[in-house]
A and B are shown apart, each in its own frame.
Chain A
Amino acid sequence: MMNKEALLLAAIFAPIFGALILPLLGRVSQGLRNNTALALVALSCLCSLSFIPSVMGGKNIIFSFALPLSLSLTFYADTLAVFMAVVSSFIGAIIVLYSFDYISHYDNQNEYYLMVVLFLGAMMGLVYSANLIYLFLFWEITAIACWRLIGFYRGQRDVLKADKAFLVTVFGALVMLIGFVAIFQQTGTFNLIIMRGQVLPDIIVALILFGILSKSATLPFQTWLPDAGVAPSPVTALLHAAVLVKIGVYVFARLFLMTFMISSSWHATVMMIAGASALVAAGAALVETDIKRLVAYSTISQIGFIFLGLAAGNMVGAVGGLLYILMHGLAKGGLFLCAGIIEQNAKTKDITRMGGLIRTMPVTAMAFLFCAFSVMGIPPLGGFFSKFMVISGGIKSGEIWLTLVFIVGAFMTILYLFRAFTLIFLGESKGYPSREGSKMMVACVALLAILSLAGGLLANYPIGFLKTAGYQMVGLLK
Chain B
Amino acid sequence: MTYLLLFIPFAILILINLFPREKRTEPAFWLGLAVLVFQAGAVVASQFGYWGTILTSQLESVFGFNLQLYKMGHVLVMASALAGATALLVARATLKNKRDRFNFVGLLLVSLIGINGIAMVTDIFTLYIFIEVTALATFILIMLNREQAAFEGAFKYLIMSVVATVLMLAAVSLFILIGGGTSFLDVKMAVISDPLAYTALLLFLCGLFIKGGMVPFHGWLPDAYSSAPTAVSVWLAGIVTKASGIYALIRLMVIFGGLEPLQNIMLTVGAASIVIGALAALGQKELKRLLAYSSISQMGYIVIALGSGTVLGIFAALFHFFNHTLFKATLFANVAAVEEQTGTQEMEKLGGLAQKMPITGLTSAIASLSTAGLPPLSGFWSKLLIIIALWISGHYFFAAVAVLASVVTLAYFLLLQRQAFFGLVPAALKEVREAGPILLIPAVFLSLLIVVIGLVFPFMIQMVLR
Contacts and interface: CB of A to CB of B under 8 A. Distances in A.
A162 B418 CA distance: 10
Contacts of B352: 154
Given A67-B458, A155-B424, A167-B411, A136 B375 contact: yes
B387 interface: yes
Contacts of A174: 403-404, 406-407
A162 B414 CA distance: 10
Interface string B410-452: 1100110010001110000000000000000000000000000
Interface string B386-402: 01100110000001100
B97 to A, nearest CB: 38
A175 interface: yes
A181 B388 contact: yes
B213 to A, nearest CB: 26
B393 to A, nearest CB: 10
B53 interface: no
Contacts of A162: 422
Contacts of A181: 387-388, 391, 399
B462 A67 contact: yes
Interface residues of B, number: 32
Contacts of B407: 167, 170-171, 174
A156 B424 contact: yes
B62 interface: no
A353 to B, nearest CB: 26
Interface stretch (A43-51, A68-76, A253-261, A397-405): A68-76
B418 A163 contact: yes
A476 interface: no
A108 B399 CA distance: 39
Given A167-B410, A181-B387, A184-B388, A159 B423 contact: yes
A455 interface: no
A18 B449 CA distance: 20
A368 interface: no
Contact of B410 (A160, A166, A177): A166
B181 interface: no
A68 B458 CA distance: 8
B284 interface: no
Interface in A422-461: none
Contacts of A184: 388, 391-392
Nearest to A168: B407
Given A67-B459, A178-B403, A181-B399, A144 B387 contact: no
A154 B423 contact: yes
Contacts of B157: none
Contacts of A160: 418
A185 B391 contact: yes
A137 B418 contact: no
B422 A159 contact: yes
A71 B410 contact: no
Nearest to B424: A154
Interface in B308-336: none
A156 to B, nearest CB: 6
A383 interface: no
B462 A177 contact: no
Contacts of A163: 411, 414-415, 418
A140 B414 contact: no
A140 B384 CA distance: 13
A107 B358 CA distance: 13
A208 to B, nearest CB: 14
A346 interface: no
Interface in A134-175: 136-138, 140-141, 143-144, 151, 154-156, 159-160, 162-163, 166-167, 170-171, 174-175
Given A154-B424, A181-B391, A133 B400 contact: no
B209 interface: no
Nearest to A143: B374
Nearest to B410: A170
Interface in B339-355: 352, 355
A170 to B, nearest CB: 6
B18 interface: no
A151 B459 contact: no
A25 interface: no
A366 interface: no
A198 to B, nearest CB: 18
Given A67-B459, A185-B391, A144 B424 contact: no
Given A156-B424, A174-B406, A133 B391 contact: no
B54 interface: no
Nearest to A174: B403
A192 interface: no
B458 A71 contact: yes
Residue among A143, A163, A182, A184 with most chain B CB within 10 A: A163
Contacts of A73: 458
A108 to B, nearest CB: 8
Contact of A68 (B374, B399, B423, B462): B462
Nearest to B351: A156
A185 B424 contact: no
A178 B355 contact: no
Of B369, B376, B391, B392, which is in contact with the most chain A CB atoms at under 10 Å from its CB? B376
Contacts of B392: 184-185
A350 B5 CA distance: 69
Given A68-B462, A174-B403, A151 B387 contact: no
Contacts of B388: 181, 184
Interface of A: 67-69, 71, 73, 107-108, 133, 136-138, 140-141, 143-144, 151, 154-156, 159-160, 162-163, 166-167, 170-171, 174-175, 177-178, 181-182, 184-185
Closest 10 CB pairs of A and B: A137-B375, A71-B458, A163-B414, A181-B391, A67-B458, A171-B407, A140-B375, A174-B403, A159-B423, A159-B418
Given A159-B423, A184-B391, 8 more contacts: A67-B462, A68-B462, A69-B461, A108-B355, A156-B423, A166-B414, A174-B403, A174-B406
22 contacts: A68-B461, A73-B458, A108-B355, A136-B375, A140-B374, A140-B380, A141-B376, A144-B374, A154-B352, A154-B355, A154-B423, A162-B422, A163-B411, A166-B414, A170-B372, A170-B406, A171-B404, A177-B387, A177-B403, A178-B387, A185-B391, A185-B392
Interface of B: 352, 355, 369, 372, 374-376, 380, 384, 387-388, 391-392, 399-400, 403-404, 406-407, 410-411, 414-415, 418, 422-424, 458-459, 461-462, 465
